[in-house]
Amino acid sequence: MKRALEDAIRLLDILIEDRDSYFSGDYLNSEGRKLFEEAARSILREAPYLRRRISRVRRKGDYNTILSLREDLAILLLKGGQEE
């Protein structure tokens, strides 16, 4: 699980760091959505209990929601990927 979460965090970091390329205003553009979907697949493959969270992030698609998901994944990774 650790590897998939690390990959997802890396992809979300790319989104966050290159905000001008992947966001239009505060919302994901088409290229940003492609990168987010790749991260979401990694997350859901190893942590299917995050399905609702991923759905909310997909629906909202704004910068702060992506940032919040990234922070929560980092905490989950530090805890060893265990469901709370």
Q: Cβ distance 67 to 15 under 8 Å? A: no
pLDDT digits (tens, 9 = 90+) for 37-81: 999 999 999 889 999 999 999 999 999 999 999 999 999 888 875
Look up the pTM and report it: 0.88
What confidence score (pLDDT) does residue 15 get? 96
Of 17, 20, 33, 31, nearest in space to 67 by CA: 17
H-state helical runs in the chain: 2-17, 19-22, 30-46, 51-60, 63-78
What confidence score (pLDDT) does residue 84 get? 46
Q: Residue 27 has which token pair?
A: 């919302």
